[in-house]
Amino acid sequence: MDHNTPVDPITAEIGELQKPLKGRRPLSWFLFSAILGLALVLPVLAILLAPAAPAASSASTASSASSAPAYSTPLALDAVWNPGPVANAHQAWANDCQVCHSSPFSRVKDADCQACHKTTPGHVDPTKTKVSALEEVRCATCHRDHQGAFGLALQNKHFEGQNCAACHADIKKTMPETQTLNVRDFGKEHPEFRIQVLGAATGPTAAAGTDRLRRVRQASGTAITEATTLKFPHDVHLASKGVRSPEGLVKMSCDGCHKPNSDRSSFQPVAMKEHCQSCHALKFEPALTNREVPHGSVDEVLSTLREFYSYVSLNRVQLDGSKLSVAQRFVALPGKDERLPSFVNGAGDARARAAASATDLFERTSCVVCHTVNRLEVAGKVGTPGADLPQWEIAPVAGQHAWMPKARFEHSAHEASKCTDCHSAPDSKKASDVLMPAIAVCRDCHMGAEKVANKVASDCGTCHGFHMAPHEVKAQAPASTAAPSAASPAALATQRQTAQLAAKP
């Protein structure tokens, strides 16, 4: 190239730009140092030198300690590292990064999460099985904070179904001993539900034994039953024509007995006093008094009868039919025309009358209507007024338990539906019937992750959670129909006073 040839303007400009810029390197070092100091050195010093939150006093509660105000760094220098606001549940530590980030320049460790969430269970019981696919799963794999005030709540409520299906589509490969079947999508591939039942369950996959809660998988056309000592026909109580009561014919509905709990996710236990006694009164001498025996232990019932008829006999209380109210003259058995008998003027002494009244209560008119009652050839409890009367045993009624312990269901989200849309209670004749709906009933409204017209898209997180408590294997302590077997002296004294007042003409 001829050096005397004039250079065109563009080539000359490029040449000038390629020449070393005077002072460029010092400027680069200056900018690097400024950024390093503002974004790293000063925030680190501010965090290290920031005053610690005051320790809670011994009188302070855990809740007050957790709600203590967080201490921000001077000039909020650490804000440059904050990717976004933390969730509401973590707001108390929003300005104290070290609570979760215990090690600088490293991701949040599971131990940091578990320092507060000590009782959060894992996905499987590590003492029984080890799943290699879960070894790399961290808390932050699913729970990512700094996503806004409600970010964690939304993540916890729903998560991607495909993440679950990665293992559960071929679950036997991951965990050969599991009883869980393959699941890919609720609408396309999901097995029938497994229902947890107590005692001698029947069904295609029922296990042996009667002392454990266990899960039985539903099968088309095969009913599941649960061992129970309670007698309760839903069809009688939900009859369209109504059921006889002291107030006449009453049409009952499910919500007459099944009251929602405080958060409307489930229901309160059914109680005799609140839900049954208005019709199933425990009156024992309607010709003389409106008094009822307690819905308690056999000893309490027998002691009440023994003291009552003893008082009536000793004080020679006479039956005066002219002073009886209509309610006292005509007290009928629930749903029947048969009247309750009177024993106050019966044959024999006070013991004989109390024994006859007790026999009627336990074996014909009251206890046996709802409970399994057995007569015992044993002596009564020593020291109780009813010790010399015949003795009975009422089979205990099992307490409530979860029907689907591995699933989540909120009744409050289904208030637009009728109870009978899912539960076939009007056709149930026995308390042993398990009235849980089959999967086909749920699919009337719910489909899987794929959007379908007139269906609710439902991923795995709609009904299931990753953290699963250990499976409940033992039956709960039975909810006895009785209080303690022997009445206390104070209770017996109260019964005597009540008997005296009730027996007065």
pLDDT tens sequence across 491-504: 333 333 333 333 33
3-state secondary structure of 25: helix
Would 333 be classed as within a structural domain? Answer: yes
Would 175 be classed as within a structural domain? Answer: no
Structure confidence at residue 475 (pLDDT): 45
How many structural domains compose the chain?
1
Compute the mean pLDDT over every residue in the chain, rounded to the nearest whole number. 79
3-state secondary structure of 172: helix
Under the banding of pLDDT at 50, 70 and 90, the label for residue 217 is very high
Would 392 be classed as within a structural domain? Answer: yes
Would 492 be classed as within a structural domain? Answer: yes
CB 392 within 8 A of CB 298: yes
Kindly report, residue by residue over 85-116, the tens digit of the pLDDT: 899 989 888 878 888 988 877 889 999 999 99
CB 97 within 8 A of CB 80: no
Backbone angles phi, psi at 143, to 5 degrees: -105, 100
Structure confidence at residue 429 (pLDDT): 94
Would 432 be classed as within a structural domain? Answer: no
Under the banding of pLDDT at 50, 70 and 90, the label for residue 181 is very high
Partners of residue 250 on adjacent β-strands: 243
Please give the residue range of the domain that contains residue 314.
298-398+485-503
Would 314 be classed as within a structural domain? Answer: yes
Would 92 be classed as within a structural domain? Answer: no
Tell me the residue ranges of DSSP E strands in 351-505. 373-376, 391-394, 446-447, 456-457
Structure confidence at residue 206 (pLDDT): 44
> Cβ of 208: how many Cβ atoms within 10 Å?
7
Would 433 be classed as within a structural domain? Answer: no
